[in-house]
Structure 1
Amino acid sequence: MLVSGVFLPILFATKELKSIYGGLGLVLSGNFFISYLISITIIPGFRTKFQINVKNFDVPKILKIFAHNMNVLLYYVYRIKEDLIDKTLLIIEHSRKRPKVFLSVYILFILIGIYFYFISKNEFINKVEEKQLIGNVEFPSGTSFSRINTITEQIEKKYQDYIIFRKSIRK
């Protein structure tokens, strides 16, 4: 999912977007790993600590509904965690049975990462020449665009003409 959703679009992206997609891929990879760690460490503790038996207490109905929903939610989180652990153990078992396949897939991912690194040429933002004009325009509706050189010069010229026109009307 991560490779097809983030890393493959890098092949068709511009130079600016390549670095953004690469950074996004690294961040998402880290987030998936952290989410996995949270699902196998912290969430099981929530299941045991927050399991509330509301029959013993005289509480408002809304709190009973909240406690019941919390238990149902934690049940599904627990099932997802168990499925993740089962899949992880299955992958580990397959990697022990076929270490060459596992190693070749791992090396392939590393080579894909190195390939995308060399494609991007470490240009996070295009170099701006000294005489190059960059114009950024944002409208009240939230629409914005940026153009370089000729269009920026046209915008500046029309703006100057508008200022001169307003001054002539006031006089």
Structure 2
Amino acid sequence: MRNRVLIAALATAALTAGCVSEQTYQGEVKQADMYQQKSALYESLNAKLQTEINADQARIEQLQNQVKLTLVDQILFPEGGWEIHRQGEQTLAKIAPTLSTLQGKRIVVEGFTDNVPIGPALKKRFPSNWELSTARATDVVRFLVAKGVPQGILAAEGFGDSRPVASNDTPQGRAKNRRVEIVISGVNQ
């Protein structure tokens, strides 16, 4: 809020002095409003997931036009599974009320895996990690819709092992690569 007031005050002073056009002034005010919205969204998600963040199971980032929430797979799914378990439901239920209030935004749930090939039991259902990651993202979307997030702003995408964030050469790296990211776009538009 302080930043918005400061920007508005500076823009008003510049407009009064004849230094900027009305269009520039309105642009500055709109930018301040968008910054405030993005910060409020970030703060809301951060407060609701503080336990998970402290346990290194969740991370929230403010990007230029997005807020990105990353959840490790084990907080959402049983090992090798694609259906959200109880802890995952509890975690997602914390953020669903915030996400359900977003209008004019787009929420893409992205699923990721490590590069370990799917075992024989899962291979019957999922030919590759790509299909497994897509199934996980889709299950998260279904859950969020059931909790009141508008279906029209949600999408699910699976990337399998194609976008690692760490080396797949270690167990710790593979664990970081098995994740779900909830990307909220249109926060600064």
TM-score by length of 1: 0.28
Please identify the structure whose Cα radius of gyration is greater. Answer: 1
Higher relative contact order (CA 8 A, sep 6+): 2
